């Protein structure tokens, strides 16, 4: 076994404990939203479904995007934790290449490398499908968020978005549904 395989397997086991979704091979390069309009994307989005990850453990999750400057989008994510506290984090997103504005890079910590945030599909008024991936040598780790401008999405829309994800090899059976029940999430609005 070579060093890359040992490192990859060690990382795989460590991440499996965190319930990350690890897949064989390198990250896919899916098509993104054509003619992405950042201004129309701004505002509040509700997390409807996501792949499990180590940094998002609550319910009632939302993401709010605002324009910080012509080339920088402010990101504010919040969620309600099981103990009733609200967890939030602020960051920023920029397009690495202005000719591909749907391929954003998101940063939450000053010296941390930015993470990909690719808008695969959105109609701006109802849904957004976001994909991110991290290469781990011979493996990759998928991240997905299906978001809505409202706390729910029609089943037909979810099925269409699942089909898009399946076409790039994402395990849609691993998606977790976020609780956005108004009564449960009322602490977020106080």
Between CA 139 and CA 125, with CA 47 as vertex, the angle to 5 degrees is 115
Phi, psi of 5 (to 5 degrees): -65, -40
Structure tokens at 31: 């098509």
Q: Find the mean pLDDT for residues 116-133.
A: 96
CATH topology of domain 3-189: Lipocalin (2.40.128)
Question: Across the chain, what does the average pLDDT equal?
Answer: 87
Distances (CA, A) of 180 to 39, 51, 104, 127, 151: 25, 16, 26, 15, 5
Q: Where are the domains of the chain?
A: 3-189
Supply the pLDDT for residue 141. 87
- The pTM assigned to this predicted structure is 0.86
Average of per-residue pLDDT across 104-114: 86
pLDDT of residue 188: 65
CA distance 32 to 51: 19
Q: Which residues contact 88 (CB under 8 A, 6 or more apart)?
A: 76, 77, 78, 79
Q: In this structure, are residues 129 and 165 in contact, taking their beta carbons and an 8 Å threshold? A: yes
- Per-residue pLDDT, averaged over 144-164, amounts to 97
């Amino acid at each position: 076994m070579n060093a890359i395989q040992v490192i990859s397997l060690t990382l795989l086991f460590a991440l499996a404990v965190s319930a990350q979704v690890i897949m064989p091979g390198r990250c896919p390069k899916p098509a993104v939203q054509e003619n992405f309009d950042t201004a129309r994307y701004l505002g509040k989005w509700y997390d409807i479904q996501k792949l499990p990850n180590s940094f998002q453990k609550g319910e009632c999750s939302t993401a709010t995007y605002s324009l910080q400057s012509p080339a920088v989008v402010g990101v504010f994510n919040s969620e309600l934790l099981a103990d009733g506290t609200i967890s939030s984090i602020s960051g920023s997103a920029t397009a690495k290449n202005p000719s591909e504005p749907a391929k954003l890079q998101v940063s939450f910590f000053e010296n941390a490398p930015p993470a990909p945030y690719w808008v695969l599909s959105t109609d701006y008024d109802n849904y957004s499908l976001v994909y991110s991936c991290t290469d781990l040598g011979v493996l990759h780790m998928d991240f997905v968020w299906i978001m809505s401008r409202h706390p729910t999405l029609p089943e037909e829309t979810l099925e269409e978005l699942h089909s898009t994800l399946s076409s790039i090899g994402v395990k849609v059976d691993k998606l977790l549904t976020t609780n956005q029940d108004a009564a449960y999430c009322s602490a977020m609005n106080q």
